[in-house]
Amino acid sequence: MFNNNFLWGGAIAANQCEGAYLEDGKGLSIQDIMPNGIVGAISEEPIEDNLKLVGIDFYHKYKEDIKLFADMGFKVLRFSIAWSRIFPKGDELEPNEKGLEFYENVIDECLKYGIEPLITLSHYETPLHLAKVYDGWRDRRLIEFFENYCRVVFERYRGKVKYWLTFNEINSVLHFPLMGAGILTPKDKLTKQDLYQAAHHELVASALAVKLAHEIMPNAKVGCMVLGVVNYPMTPNPDDMITSMERDRDLMFFTDIHVRGKYPSYTKKLFKDLGISIKMEDGDEEILRNTVDFISFSYYMSKCTAKDINKYEKGRGNLTSGVKNPYLKESEWGWQIDPQGLRYICNYFYDRYQKPLFVVENGLGAMDKLVEVNGEKIVLDDYRIEYLNDHLVELGKAIEDGVEVMGYTSWGCIDLVSASTAELKKRYGFIYVDRNDDGTGSLERYKKKSFYWYKEVIKSNGENLK
Ligand code: BG6
């Protein structure tokens, strides 16, 4: 099922695990003033309640953590570079050497164990200065700041890092403009024009990053990264089917441009209906033709769509929500669990593009309990093993269907701060971190039952999946 080069591993993001939010010259990022994730108010300044300021202290513990990942047999580690460690404000010309050194050490530590680094260039952590002064990606000038940042990290890490992702869940810009694009103007004051214009800037920046990466590192493979959600029509009513097609396009708009290198034909009508006219500059169309080498995505859940969603019970979900599917169970946070949706979305992407796929996020956020068994502290997380097993079985089926899948990185392979709710009690890891929502805890790491299970999955190349 899984070929011998299949990249098994885990994924983390700088702002959710590193902490050290001001250390070694780092500037502030938007996350430092988002103590409540996307669900509450932002703060004027970083406040102690913001768990991300300390995270799980990966900044100081990365050696210990990467050793644990190596112990599980990871072939790949997905992590992000905090732009504000390299360019504290974002618009400087000269980088912060200490920031560059930190990621170089993380990369070297991975390579020491034969773990391939897979680096996200922007994972919900736009430098705060760019948000305050430019209103984030609404301003076209961010393209050149981002290009400069990319050039610096590509030149520094060439020869060491082969796999790169541009923007984490780039489609989130339309739903969560602060997190996805560093836009401080509240969403209710933004028009569709503003949102799609910001998306255009990110798309151009993403294509420029692909171009630069290929020039500087001819062997590099660069992927786009989208929030992958499957939309099922709630009923066979053709109205619901058309709604489902439209919701799919909210996502496919981003992959279409990344893979085909141009705006899709349906945007003509869409933009006309929404009164949108994208301001393009000379050369933008040509830049967009720098297409990605692969498509990466997160997958946690599916949702149902209906023309009239008010007729049904609403569901909750990862940054987007729809109508509850009566056939599915849900997580403690109300995300509906649908392993077959992973097989479906893999086939959907592959049928449409015939590009290799990389599942770079998938996992179960759950409340874990640390217990003692035979003198060892452990979490008996059979629920997580079940979730991951079932998704991997479906991923295997997608591969049998003929889909080309490069790898799989389970989200939050070590417990970290949640992006949407900024909690620590929503845990995804194979490794438990002793830190609580009130900020207490020793930061000690403990292996969960799933740690041993995933180690076996990797060792057997998926043969032990049931
Ligand atoms: C994805 C993000 O949307 O989902 C991650 O890329 C995030 O940053 C993950 O952590 C899980 O979501 P949450 O809200 O449970 O942390």
Alpha helices in 113-140 (DSSP H): 128-134
Ligand 1 lined by 365 (C-beta under 6 Å)? yes
Strand-pair category, 445-447 with 431-433: antiparallel
Closest ligand 1 atom to 420 CA: 14
For the ranges 21-35, 210-224, 313-327, 415-429, the lowest mean pLDDT is seen at: 313-327
Look at residue 435 and tell me whether its pLDDT is greater than 80: yes
Residue 193 exposed, middle or buried by CB count within 10 Å (0-12, 13-18, 19+):
middle
- Confirm if 459 and 465 have CB atoms less than 8 A apart: no
Residue 269, both tokens = 């009508």
Does the pLDDT value for residue 210 go beyond 80? yes
Q: What is the mean pLDDT of the chain?
A: 97
Is it the case that residue 316 has pLDDT exceeding 90?
no
Supply the CATH classification number for the domain 7-459: 3.20.20.80
Check whether 437 has a pLDDT greater than 90: yes
- Averaged pLDDT for residues 367-376: 97
Query: Which residues neighbour 155 within 8 Å (Cβ) at sequence distance 6 or greater?
Result: 216
Q: How far apart are CA 232 and CA 327, in angstroms?
A: 12
* Predicted local distance difference test score (pLDDT) of residue 315: 86
Q: What is the pLDDT of residues 153-205, one digit of tens each?
A: 999 999 999 999 999 999 999 999 999 999 999 999 999 999 999 999 999 99
Ligand 1 centroid – CA 420 distance (Å): 6
Closest ligand 1 atom to residue 172 Cα is 3
- 13 ligand 1 Cβ < 6 A: yes
The secondary structure of residue 39, as a DSSP letter, is S
206 φ, ψ (degrees, to nearest 5): -65, -45
Domain boundaries, the chain: 7-459
| Distance (Å, whole) CA 88 – CA 82 | 9
| Alpha carbon separation from 372 to 255, 375, 425, 454 (Å, rounded) | 46, 6, 19, 21
The DSSP line for 179-208 is: HHH---S-GGG--HHHHHHHHHHHHHHHHH
Q: What percent of the chain has pLDDT over 70?
A: 100
Place of tokens 């513990």: 61
Q: What is the mean pLDDT of residues 319-338?
A: 92
pLDDT > 90? residue 322: no
Task: State the pLDDT confidence band at 1, using cuts at 50, 70 and 90.
Answer: confident
> Residue 318: pLDDT band by 50, 70, 90 thresholds?
confident
Whether pLDDT at 465 is above 80: yes
Span 310-322, average pLDDT: 84
3-state DSSP: the chain helix, strand, coil percent, rounded to 5?
45, 20, 40
Across 78-97, average pLDDT: 98
pLDDT above 90: residue 317 = no
Tell me the CA–centroid distance for residue 300 and ligand 1, in Å: 9
Q: Which residues, in sequence order, are CB contacts of 207 under 8 Å at separation 6+?
A: 258, 261, 287, 288, 289, 290, 291
Dump pLDDT digits (tens) for 3-55. 999 999 999 999 999 999 999 999 999 999 999 999 889 999 999 999 999 99
The answer, yes or no, to whether any atom of ligand 1 lies below 6 A from the CB of 121, is: no
Provide mean pLDDT across the span 377-395: 98
Mutate which of 299, 411, 413, 418 to test ligand 1's pocket (most atoms within 8 Å of Cβ)?
A: 411
| Ligand 1 neighbour 335 (Cβ under 6 A) | no
List phi, psi (to 5°) of 10.
Answer: -140, 170
pLDDT of 356 above 80: yes
pLDDT digits (tens, 9 = 90+) for 230-239: 999 999 999 9
* Cβ pair 130, 136 in contact under 8 A: yes
What pLDDT does residue 353 have? Answer: 98
- Give the 3-state secondary structure of 300-338: EEEEEECCCHHHCCECECCCCCCECCCCCCECCCCEECC
Residue 321 has pLDDT above 80, yes or no: no
Find out whether the beta carbon of 360 lies less than 6 Å from any atom of ligand 1.
no
Which two tokens mark 390? 């079932």
Q: What is the pLDDT averaged over residues 128-142?
A: 98
